Amino acid sequence: MENKEIAEILYNVADFLEMEDNPFRPKAYRRAAHTIEFLTENISEVREEGNLEKLPGIGKNIALKIEEILDTGSLQYLEELRKEIPVDFDALMSVEGLGPKKIKHLYEELGIKNLEDLENQAKRHKIRRLKGMGEKSEKNILENIEFAKKHGTRKLLGYVLPIAQELKTQLDELDITDDVKIAGSIRRRKETIGDIDILVITSHPQKVMDFFITMDMVVDVINKGPSKSTVRLNEGIECDLRVFKANVFGAALMYFTGSKETNVELRRIAIKNNLKLNEYGLFKGKNRIAGESEEELFHKLGMNYIEPELRENRGEIEAATEKKLPELVGYHDIKGDLQIHTKWSDGSHSLEEMVQSASQIGYEYIALTDHAGSLKIAGSMDEKRIKEQMKEINKINNGMDDITILNGVEVNIGSDGKLDVENDLLKDLDIVVASIHSGFRQNEDKITKRLITAMANENVNIIGHPTSRKIQERQAYDLDLDKIFKVSRETNTFLEVNSQPNRLDLSDVNIKKSLEHGCKLVINTDAHSQDQLKYINLGIATARRGWATKMDIINTLSLKKLEKLFN
DNA sequence: GCCGTTTTCGGCCCGACTGTTTTCAGTCG
């Protein structure tokens, strides 16, 4: 059983416990779930070593529950909680303004279990009669159900980021704003985003709020106060804006960037040192001892600065305290993109156009890796076309002096691990990316063997999108990642961090795990058009979230060093 | 339910905003 599945069960327990009076029990379960979710070792191994209770937030009781889940695949305690209050908790929680207490109240008084029940009872005006509810609550529920149904899930970072940047631009243009920052999970570059958080420094808070809630992109105002407002945007996403004065900028940014878990941990550390941390600063008694910059706040808390991408309370606070944080790969460190498609297969721009865009970015080299092989996917090139494209690329290379084009292909890995292009041809290419595009349902053993067979082929340099997950669409296939990482090292085959917004594969957690195995990675866009080349920033962000340094990423190397690595 | 370099019991992050209230609980991040 995967760590993630066990964490999921404990999160579910926490959800149900939220409906009860003691607020600390759900917190305890949530903390334990978070620990397991981001553990890089397998939880069953930790258990075999008898170390469950050494993990943060896991004590005797929860350790027993984890053992039960590992042994039986389920948790009796959760089944009992579900029986007691049999509600579709996630669905009801997605309605703005409904929380655990109200959900419980609605179930006990009106038997509401799901969105359908909720809508029915609201329409029949049953809700306004409940204690603590009124006409307005009922009206809000009806409005918010609509939104929850339409835009229930989180959205891809690649989709939300440009929207947030547009908001920032418009707010930046105002005379009354001194600074505007995108904070929250976008600043941390999390792969999916729940809402947009914007922080404004101003000495005219009221005017900024008035402007904000009447912006063209705003379709609905959820709440509005003197320092904080929440709106809905026409793109189906919510946006929070908070205003602060310049002297608390660092504390505000730190608080508003999160993550929530990181904030809680930092505030706990503050308390331990007889200090108090909030969005207005770090306080000793009534005196503010830091607050203008994040750097000084971290410093006063006794630790090094933590990059936003790392702030998930996954060990970065301990590392920062011991001054052992890695120096993350930078957004300008990538010297070339090693998976790019053109019109020769399923791309929408010509070879020349893609080269021109890459050159404008300032890359030292790129690899053109159109689909190749017998497979009909994506207009794959056959042997004859591959040879023709080679000649074209040679011609272009001879006419360019600022950028070198590596001649590559992306080949498909068959269900038996074999590639559908002959080795005789592959060995003449500069670079071969091998990826799985079908047959995802094979069991763990088979898929793992399939990838290992491909990696053992000495012509293969890179495994493209190694787990083939698609965020919110398709789970990663079952894979023995420990084995894959080991073979990756042994065969000098590099695993890709694919930058497509819905892939980001390897994921942050798997990147961290691979680095602990000593793997080296490559960050590619898999671009199918000129504008997709900019997705490289999403890949870099994901690598940073996985604690990757420049040394861990092969396409930060000069061309000379890279070619040496491939031979 | 977890945890401890003041504690094995008594804490557990902190503040803004709303709606339904007459001082606050619930929600949100």
Tokens 């292909």 -> residue: A409
Phi/psi at A272 (5° precision): -60, -30
Å separating the CA of residue A96 from the C1' of nucleotide B25: 17
pLDDT digits (tens, 9 = 90+) for A535-551: 999 999 999 999 999 99
Asked if A40 and A516 touch (Cβ cutoff 8 Å), the reply is yes
Angle between helices A115-123 and A135-151 (to 10 degrees): 140
Distance CA A311, CA A268 (A): 15
pLDDT at A377: 67
Q: How many CA atoms lie less than 13 Å away from A390 in the CB half-sphere?
A: 15
Å separating the CA of residue A151 from the C1' of nucleotide B25: 28
C-alpha distances in Å from residue A95, one per residue of A147, A195, A499: 8, 14, 32
pLDDT digits (tens, 9 = 90+) for A401-443: 899 999 999 999 999 999 989 999 999 999 999 999 988 888 9
Tokens 């091998």 -> residue: A434
Of A273, A259, A353, which Cα lies nearest the Cα of A314? Answer: A259
Tokens 């990181």 -> residue: A262
C-alpha distances in Å from residue A328, one per residue of A187, A188, A308, A542, A546: 15, 13, 11, 11, 9
Phi/psi at A132 (5° precision): 85, -5
Å separating the CA of residue A24 from the C1' of nucleotide B11: 11
> Residues A302-312: what's their mean pLDDT?
96
Asked if A495 and A539 touch (Cβ cutoff 8 Å), the reply is no
Instruction: Determine whether A271 is exposed, middle or buried from the number of CB atoms within 10 Å of its CB (0-12, 13-18, 19+).
Output: exposed
| Bases in strand B with any atom closer than 7 Å to a protein CB | 1-3, 6, 11-21, 25-29
* A139 closest-nt by C1' vs CA: B19
Whether residue A512 has pLDDT greater than 70: yes
Asked if A279 and A228 touch (Cβ cutoff 8 Å), the reply is no
Whether residue A151 has pLDDT greater than 80: no
Tell me how many helices (H) and strands (E) chain A has.
24, 17
Q: Tell whether omega for the bond before A415 is within 30 degrees of 0, i.e. cis.
A: no
Computed over every residue of chain A, the mean pLDDT equals 93
pLDDT band for A11, please (50, 70, 90 cuts): very high
DSSP-assigned letter for residue A315? S
pLDDT at A205: 92
Asked if A62 and A43 touch (Cβ cutoff 8 Å), the reply is no
DSSP-assigned letter for residue A301? T
Distance CA A291, CA A280 (A): 7
Å separating the CA of residue A499 from the C1' of nucleotide B22: 56
Distance CA A514, CA A356 (A): 34
Q: Which runs of E-coded beta strand occur in A321-440?
A: 336-340, 365-372, 404-412, 431-435
Distance CA A547, CA A309 (A): 9
pLDDT digits (tens, 9 = 90+) for A317-338: 999 999 999 999 999 999 999 9
Residue nearest to nucleotide B28 (CA to C1'): A97
Helix (H) or strand (E) holding A282: strand A281-284
> Residues A108-129: what's their mean pLDDT?
93
* Residue A359 in tokens: 């050159």
Residue nearest to nucleotide B18 (CA to C1'): A223
pLDDT digits (tens, 9 = 90+) for A265-299: 999 999 999 999 999 999 998 899 999 999 999 99
- Alpha-carbon radius of gyration of chain A: 26
pLDDT band for A21, please (50, 70, 90 cuts): confident
Å separating the CA of residue A96 from the C1' of nucleotide B22: 26
Distance CA A141, CA A520 (A): 50
Percent of chain A with pLDDT over 70: 99
pLDDT digits (tens, 9 = 90+) for A342-392: 999 999 999 999 999 999 999 999 999 999 987 666 788 988 999 999 999
C-alpha distances in Å from residue A548, one per residue of A186, A258, A267, A508, A520: 19, 21, 27, 9, 9
Q: How far is CA A160 from the centre of its chain?
A: 12
Q: Tell whether omega for the bond before A521 is within 30 degrees of 0, i.e. cis.
A: no
pLDDT band for A149, please (50, 70, 90 cuts): confident
Asked if A487 and A519 touch (Cβ cutoff 8 Å), the reply is no
pLDDT digits (tens, 9 = 90+) for A197-251: 999 999 999 999 999 999 999 998 998 999 999 999 988 899 999 999 999 999 9
pLDDT at A401: 83
* A58 closest-nt by C1' vs CA: B2
